[in-house]
Structure 1
């Protein structure tokens, strides 16, 4: 938030940039309507991305879960409440998921860190998930070619 030049003078103009994120079940319009606009105030919307919800049984989350299990780890499913690349691609793909190494509660903070072994594990999981997805699509094609 910026406004004025001096702390002890009421500014003629103020500016505030908000990065608002909202979950499935809410709309941009609803959020904008809840923001009270005083006389002389303007909202300039610089962009928006709709929220996305993914079911654990969708193909990509299911493949990632199977890949994690077959790699010897226990998957932990989280409901991601921020935004990610999923928000940008969900209208163009049949299935997507957010997955990666590290502690998601530390993402985008000055304490965000990942260990090289965790990165290598995640790369192996992605490779296995791609194999699982490829096999599942191949079996679907084989089933349909018999008709």
Structure 2
């Protein structure tokens, strides 16, 4: 996949290579401004036969999340006019391991670039831009104890694990309050659950995924998870620590996108997402204007019905090409920076 993308970019005017962690990187332009367009190549599992139907809709895993966005980045930068390339250097990165807690590709990119503006490749719809994502924490829980006859007194390993899960759900329901919007609440999900008995020992295990609001750090959430299982003899491993992030609505990047969307006949809207993305990874290290952009409906992410209208894809390429051209001519390098803002009403 990376080699295919590298080859396509090399054939379309990029200086392209594969970096040390397998990212496909393409660079065009030599101006003082650096714009990073960070998308990801990997997808979640699930084979969806690739086809284009009679309505011009592309079906297939990754069509929305997020190869559609990554291809939009590459196609838009390939189409930039000479004046944009003279004003800025555009770095398209097809990153590895975004669909994993490691985010290996994005973390490597942090060490290689100091951008003035950042686009994250995730579906927003051609006429919208995403400014924020919830945080994340993953807890792997395991309980092991001696076997006993079920006619006797006591609780099984599965009983104890279930009790801990009910406590986690009760804690999550109390964060933010029932009147809060979903971006301000904790979403707790069982991602894996199982148990076994070999006649001598009982074992139960679970993977719990948490989506965290801006007011709650992964460390604080981790303390709550450990407390829920503290008296149950559980082994708790925490991973995938990502803080929630939300960027400002008004800066050179968002203005360029909004103007380009209007020029294409759309009405730009702002979004915040309940999932996570590489925006969460790079935001603490790249305090510059940032937005996620890409064609497609994010409600189709990870589903058996993942699909992307190729008309929308073409429109997103045109919008992004226009926005990048406007952005490159807006301000000199290093004058675009803006720290992510504190959380506000998503509307």
TM-score tier by shorter-chain length is 0.7 to 0.9
C-alpha deviation, 1:19, in angstroms: 2.4
Once superposed, what is the RMSD of the aligned Cα atoms? Answer: 2.4
Higher relative contact order (CA 8 A, sep 6+): 2
User: Are 1:135 and 2:329 an aligned pair?
Assistant: yes
C-alpha deviation, 1:58, in angstroms: 3.1
C-alpha deviation, 1:140, in angstroms: 8.8
Q: Deviations over 1:50-72 (max 9, x none)?
A: 11101211332332222111122
C-alpha deviation, 1:136, in angstroms: 1.1
C-alpha deviation, 1:84, in angstroms: 1.4
1:101 is aligned to 295
User: Are 1:32 and 2:222 an aligned pair?
Assistant: yes
More helix by share: 1
Structure 1 runs (4+) greater than 6 angstroms displaced: none
C-alpha deviation, 1:77, in angstroms: 1.6
Which segment drifts farther, 121-130 or 53-62?
53-62
Alignment TM-score, normalising by the size of structure 2: 0.36
C-alpha deviation, 1:5, in angstroms: 5.3
Alignment TM-score, normalising by the size of structure 1: 0.80
1:111 is aligned to 305
User: Are 1:123 and 2:317 an aligned pair?
Assistant: yes
More strand by share: 2
Query: Which of residues 176, 190, 195 is equivalent to 1:3?
Result: 195
1:145 is aligned to none
Q: Deviations over 1:66-101 (max 9, x none)?
A: 211112211122122211121122123302111211
1:58 is aligned to 251
1:22 is aligned to 212
2:96 is aligned to none
Structure 2: runs of 5+ lacking an equivalent: 1-192, 336-347
2:92 is aligned to none
C-alpha deviation, 1:44, in angstroms: 0.8
Q: How many residues align?
A: 138
